[in-house]
Amino acid sequence: MRTQVAIVGAGPAGLTLGRLLENAGIESVILESRSRAYCEARIRAGVLEQGTVDLLREAGVAERLDREGIVHHGISLQFDGERHRIPLSDLTGGRSIVIYGQTEVVKDLIAAREASGLPMLFDTPAESIDLERGIVRHAGNEIECDVIAGCDGFHGVCRESVPAGALREFTREYPYGWLGILADVEPSIDELVYAHTEQGFALLSLRSPTRSRYYLQVDHDEDVDRWPDDRVWEELQRRTAVAGWTLQEGPVLEKGVTGMRSYVCEPLRHRRLFLAGDAAHIVPPTGAKGLNLAIHDVRLLAEALIRFYERGDEVLLDAYSDACLRRVWRCEHFSWWMTTTLHLQPGGDSFDLQLQRSQLHYLTTSHAQATALAENYVGLATV
């Protein structure tokens, strides 16, 4: 098979890139090691930045998002038993976030590509990549291409195909994780609540008007079997309690523990291979940046490829890595800052706790600090 761009990975990054290239008349083939059913059921992020929503609209895949997505104009920070609202839209000139699960974004993108009839190969793991010749091998077959887009996640084959020593890697491991549940119960909150307590962090979120998504800080290697439903609800009630408000409980549909890390590799390009999304960088989920960073990567990559195929101009391709990394490191810092501000630090003491409380008080009383949080949370427009 011969194509212009081989896209390895059918997550949000690979599928969005395929859609943007399709709209520009550029050929692509998408390979995915997992089944379609797996990709469409994989529960991940659910907070879309303003820029992500705008791009999906421009790409023509936001009809259901606009119908079912839940627009939020603020978030709340809870500490010392009180909640303080950060008015995101008021502080950012009207920009907002939309609650719409990554699973739903993937479904929309797959449906759009299926309707176009373009190649999309599920259950087809890329086995090796020839960066010299531009070949992706799978199950005894070869896809020859001009460009390879590595959108295959942290454990994928694309980054591993780069010769040793060609990439610099930066890693931060966190000693805690998130125990997350999806509950079949109407959310008890109108907007996300980030709670800092002496028992640990908690997050109140949602996936739809009838499904709630809640998280608790636990050890990074916590055994989920130690958390029966009753214990989860008891701890959520304890960490999120405020006067005059009640957390409604319901059947738990899914439960799991996610470890937390920060990771960046540089550069994001090696010859004809371009890395995007989790193949290039990981952020802890506290700042809701993972999916949004992936979409921003492929926005830049699509612009560069369109310019290359339309004009023969490689300027944007050459600038791709640096352009991505400016935003990656901004989001890495924001996610690290949110994480360390809100989570109890193992081995920490009362001094650490007081510093966190002071920072949270400053955030909720300083217009400048609240604006900085809001700008980063809804997605900086110029980085």
Residue positions annotated with a catalytic role: 72, 194, 285, 289, 377
Please, is 347 exposed, middle or buried when counting C-beta atoms within 10 Å of its C-beta (0-12, 13-18, 19+)?
exposed
Of 70, 140, 65, 136, nearest to 107 by C-alpha is: 65
Q: Determine the Cα–Cα distance for residues 46 and 213; give it in Å rounded to an integer.
A: 9
Yes or no: say if 87 and 375 are a contact pair by the CB < 8 Å rule. Answer: no
Residues linked to residue 264 through DSSP beta bridges, in sequence order: 170, 281
CA angle (88 as vertex; 82, 90 as ends), nearest 5: 110
Residue 197 parent element (H or E): none
**Which amino acid is residue 210, in one-letter code?**
T
Q: 163 preceded by cis ω (within 30°)? A: no
Q: Determine the Cα–Cα distance for residues 44 and 346; give it in Å rounded to an integer.
A: 26
Of 279, 271, 281, 327, nearest to 300 by C-alpha is: 327
